[in-house]
């Protein structure tokens, strides 16, 4: 890869202001897009092969083309509720280059025929939301937002909406409910948001990184963009890498490079003397991979074929100093906390998985509990309105499957330790032979 698209000069002072952004050619791509017919912009998006960067990896252009045509209010929601454990790439874009995101939103809204756009940003990102608010005000003052943008017939209003701390609101239909002022519960699909979304209108929902890529596609042309990366995973991707590595952080990579190059080359690998034990390739919802998988090319299809997923592009590395049981417990605990409680398999399944892991840690479990845990996982998958429960079941299932020996050894060790310290309890009630009530 010769140049960075999303992270080019990301640390340039003042890049978050409109003056610096424009001096670097910012909003030129918007001008170019508005001079094209809507269909032509859409065709560029389709040709680019850009896949959603939020987790599902659905083709962005296709999503836009699903929106019904006709005279009605179409909405665009930018999903900035970045809560997937391990993911922090959108934070960096919004904090350091908010205008790139805003420009992408305006172009995407033009292609989709949307006149009202919202950025749903998680409430914890206070600094980033303040920066976005300021950037939106600047863009409005400069005439990039509002009525008849740059003399075209395209109108767009953009509102920054702050969430209030709920992982589930990153799920697209829960996000819509939350944006409508309700508890963030997912909705039954279909109807999909493209047909009935926000306020029952057709709605396009895209991740921050996806939308921030749009100006680059317009500048380069869809076909040229598609030459980056692999055939089915085009373009560059921000990877958030964290956990046991020397240089955690966000890196922009070309899709398809070997995973080892990201973990060892960019992030420096685990601390000296340690080895990679397991890694989540796409946030904590992705089934874990082991050190044998380090040479897999990092792209959507290869990781799916390996039984995992690229997800949000968040790599969490765990080295051999950590017990897999602790990792499983942390993962399950998170999903139990964040389950919205609407669907029984998820609400109960996450709860019982945590309880079983607590039992394992307390030395009260037997290896049979692992089978029960696996069966709980298979009973969650596919049985809920959204994939939050699946997102716990898949990594836990993969950890039990790939590290069963370690789980069993852990159970035996804890059981032995618990037995060694337990004294025979005194019976609470004295048993009196032959007593008559």
> Crossing angle of helices 324-338/344-361, nearest 10°?
150
Decide if residue 246 touches another protein (CB under 8 A): no
Per rule CB under 8 A, is residue 181 in the interface with another protein?
A: yes
Taking CB under 8 A as the criterion, the residue among 175, 220, 253, 356 binding another protein is: 253
Helix (H) or strand (E) holding 65: helix 60-65
Q: How far apart are CA 173 and CA 205, in angstroms?
A: 9
From residue 282 to residue 321, what is the string marking binding to another protein with x (rule CB under 8 A)?
A: --x-----------------------------x-x-x---
From the number of C-beta atoms within 10 Å of its C-beta (0-12, 13-18, 19+), residue 182 rates as exposed
3-class secondary structure, 137: helix
| Binding footprint of another protein, residue count (CB under 8 A) | 79
Contact criterion met (CB below 8 Å) for 50 and 217: yes
List the one residue from 72, 141, 159, 304 that touches another protein (CB under 8 A): 159
Under rule CB under 8 A, residue 337 binds another protein? yes
279 is an interface residue for another protein by CB under 8 A: no
Q: Could you count the other beta carbons within 10 Å of the beta carbon of residue 317?
A: 23
What is the β-pairing status of strands 236-243 and 75-80? unpaired
Window 76-95: residues binding another protein (CB under 8 A): 82-88, 91-92, 95
The least CB distance from residue 280 to another protein, in Å, is 8
The span from the CA of 349 to the CA of 249, in Å, is 33
Smallest distance, Å, CB 258 to another protein? 11
Task: Report 110-139 residues binding another protein (CB under 8 A).
Answer: 116, 122-127
User: Which residues inside 60-79 make contact with another protein, applying CB under 8 A?
Assistant: 73
* Residue selected from 183, 189, 221, 378 as contacting another protein according to rule CB under 8 A: 183
Smallest gap from residue 406 Cβ to another protein (A):
17
Burial 157-172 (b: 16+ CB within 10 A, else e): ebebbbbeebbbbbbb
Residue from the set 64, 149, 166, 394 that interacts with another protein by CB under 8 A: 166
For another protein, the binding residues in 374-393 under the rule CB under 8 A are none
- Phi/psi for 240 (5° steps) reads -95, 120
């Amino acid at each position: 890869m010769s140049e960075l698209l999303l992270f080019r000069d990301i640390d340039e002072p003042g890049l978050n202001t409109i003056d610096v952004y424009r001096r670097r050619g910012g909003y030129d791509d918007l001008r170019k897009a508005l001079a094209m017919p809507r269909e032509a912009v859409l065709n560029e998006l389709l040709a680019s092969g850009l896949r959603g960067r939020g987790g599902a990896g659905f083709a962005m252009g296709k999503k836009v083309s699903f929106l019904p045509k006709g005279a009605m209010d179409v909405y665009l929601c930018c999903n900035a509720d970045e809560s997937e454990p391990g993911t922090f790439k959108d934070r960096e874009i919004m904090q350091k280059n908010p205008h790139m995101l805003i420009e992408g939103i305006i172009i995407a809204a033009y292609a989709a025929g949307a006149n009202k756009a919202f950025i749903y940003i998680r409430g914890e990102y206070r600094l980033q939301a303040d920066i976005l608010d300021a950037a939106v005000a600047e863009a409005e003052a400069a005439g990039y937002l509002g009525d008849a943008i740059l003399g075209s017939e395209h109108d767009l209003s953009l509102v920054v909406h702050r969430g209030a701390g709920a992982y589930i609101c990153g799920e697209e239909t829960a996000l819509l409910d939350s944006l409508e002022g309700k508890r963030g519960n997912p909705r039954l699909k279909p109807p999909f948001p493209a047909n009935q979304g926000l306020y029952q209108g057709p709605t396009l929902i895209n991740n921050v990184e996806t939308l921030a890529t749009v100006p680059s596609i317009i500048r380069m042309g869809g076909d040229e963009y598609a030459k980056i990366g692999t055939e089915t995973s085009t373009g560059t991707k921000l990877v958030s890498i964290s956990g046991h590595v020397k240089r955690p952080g966000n890196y922009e990579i070309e899709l398809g490079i070997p995973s080892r190059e990201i973990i060892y080359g960019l992030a420096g690998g685990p601390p000296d003397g340690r080895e990679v034990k397991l890694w989540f390739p796409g946030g904590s919802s992705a089934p874990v991979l082991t050190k044998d998988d380090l040479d897999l090319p990092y792209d959507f299809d290869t990781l799916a074929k390996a039984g995992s997923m690229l997800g949000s592009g968040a790599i969490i590395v765990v080295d051999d100093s950590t017990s897999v049981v602790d990792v499983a417990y942390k993962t399950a605990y998170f999903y139990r906390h964040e389950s919205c409680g609407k669907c029984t398999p998820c609400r109960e399944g996450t709860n019982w998985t945590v309880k079983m892991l607590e039992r394992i840690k307390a030395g009260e479990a037997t290896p049979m509990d692992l089978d029960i845990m696996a069966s709980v996982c298979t009973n969650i998958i596919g049985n809920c309105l959204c994939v939050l429960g699946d997102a716990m079941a898949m990594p836990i299932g993969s950890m039990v499957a790939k590290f069963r020996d370690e789980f069993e050894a852990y159970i035996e060790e804890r059981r032995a330790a618990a037995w060694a310290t337990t004294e025979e309890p005194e019976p609470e009630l004295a048993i009196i032979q032959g007593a008559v009530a």
